[in-house]
Amino acid sequence: MQKILSHSKLFRKPILNMRPYVAPIERRTGRDYLLLDFNERTIPPHPLVLEEISKYINKGNLQLYPEYGDLNEVIADYVGVGPQEVIPTVGGDQAIDIVTRALAKDGDTVIIPRPTFAMLEQAARIQGASIVSPRYRGSNLEFPFDEVMQDIKPEVKLVVICNPNNPTGTPVPKEQIKLIIERASEVNSGVLVDEAYHEFAPELTAIDLLANYSNLFVIRSFAKTLGVPSLRAGLVASQKQNIEELKKIRGPYDVNMPASAAMKALRHQTVRDDIKKYVDEVMKVSKPMLEDFYRKNGIKFFPSSAGFHLLEEPGLYDFLRQKEGQRILIRPRSDPPGTVRVSLGTREDTEKYIEALQEYLQANK
């Protein structure tokens, strides 16, 4: 007679004790929503990105395994490192996963300040690591630098910093990043800096520290400004010997060829210029316009170095989602409690959002 095993005896305890990260992603498309909930680019990718993807699809090679060609050279040039100092990944999520799997195991400690991107903690929990979570604090939700430094002890194997942080938008000064890397090096710990929102705050990048610190890993995503989150495209940059170790974890064919084609479009200067143009509109036009409206109307928002704001307006989510005419999706947050995160888009997007905000304020007088 076949023995039936309980799933609790099959699966590792860290997995059994977790909950899946379920993002509210379904039923967003196909409706007349203005999507300001997932920090996506609000306009389509540059035509050359679409052209590169179409070229690959039209070759008729979908039945073949991937061949990446000069992908490493293209993305390394965009990031500003050598081709052997970068590994393309299936979005930023796989980048987080392979670094965490490489450095942390059951019983190790990982430092992840809260609140932050959920997948950072998810990856650590899968490994069975204990998570130490100093809090972003104060009226501006500042990075808990002193607490992080105090928490870096011999049992710590990884320190994770999202810069700028999601969902708070908090910047972490490069000098603080450097001191954390140096302190972590003393206890043989790695430092993972998630720079998914790099293009919005390029001055914060830790990329130029890679040459001097062998325990540093920098993550980037092509979801936000290149505009291809559906294809899942990202990378890890680190010293050559670290990349060689990460190759043992990421599969040889993990990155799909349409995603590779989209990333290779970065060889075109016009694509890079388009990214900068979009970011400039978001950060130099939409952001100040919106912050001025918030201040004039007494809406509490937290200073942000990224392409989104965190607001203390818990009723705004339902109002915008159910509004007659142009419905708008934003992201409700449970941490910090009573907040919502609102993505920034083009001037046109912002004007539509402000019009809806005026209706919200009128309805809640």
The percent helix, strand, coil of the chain (3-state, each to 5) is: 45, 15, 40
Q: What integer is the mean pLDDT of 100-123? A: 96
3-state secondary structure of 284: helix
pLDDT, residue 128, reads: 95
DSSP 109-171: EEE--BS--HHHHHHHHHTT-EEE-PBPBTTTTB--HHHHHHH--TTEEEEEEESS-TTT---
pLDDT, residue 153, reads: 97
pLDDT confidence band for 3 (50 / 70 / 90) = low
Q: What integer is the mean pLDDT of 168-195? A: 98
Is the preceding omega at residue 164 within 30 degrees of 0, hence cis? yes
pLDDT confidence band for 65 (50 / 70 / 90) = very high
pLDDT, residue 55, reads: 96
Answer whether residue 365 shows pLDDT above 70. no
DSSP state of 218: E
Q: What integer is the mean pLDDT of 53-65? A: 95
Question: How many helices (DSSP H) and strands (DSSP E) are in the chain?
Answer: 14, 12
pLDDT confidence band for 30 (50 / 70 / 90) = low
pLDDT confidence band for 324 (50 / 70 / 90) = confident
Answer whether residue 296 shows pLDDT above 80. yes
Contacts 24+ apart (CB under 8 A), 142-147: 142/170, 143/113, 143/170, 143/171, 143/172, 143/176, 144/113, 145/172, 145/176, 145/179, 145/180, 147/113
pLDDT, residue 289, reads: 97
Q: What integer is the mean pLDDT of 206-221? A: 97
Residues above pLDDT 90, as percent of the chain? 88
C-alpha 353 chain-centroid distance: 23
The per-residue pLDDT of the chain, averaged, comes to: 94
State pTM to two decimals: 0.94
Map out the domains of the chain with their CATH numbers: 7-44+270-363 (3.90.1150.10), 47-268 (3.40.640.10)
Residue 137 neighbours by CB distance under 10 Å: 12
pLDDT, residue 1, reads: 56
pLDDT, residue 5, reads: 64
DSSP 255-270: S-HHHHHHHHGGGSHH
- Alpha-carbon distance values, 155 to 90, 100, 107, 110, 117 (Å): 30, 15, 9, 9, 23
Answer whether residue 113 shows pLDDT above 80. yes
Instruction: Name which of 90-99, 148-157, 293-302, 325-334 the model is least confident about.
Output: 325-334
Q: What integer is the mean pLDDT of 37-60? A: 96
Tokens for 169, please give them: 């938008």
User: Which contiguous run of DSSP H or E holds residue 192?
Assistant: strand 190-194
pLDDT, residue 26, reads: 67
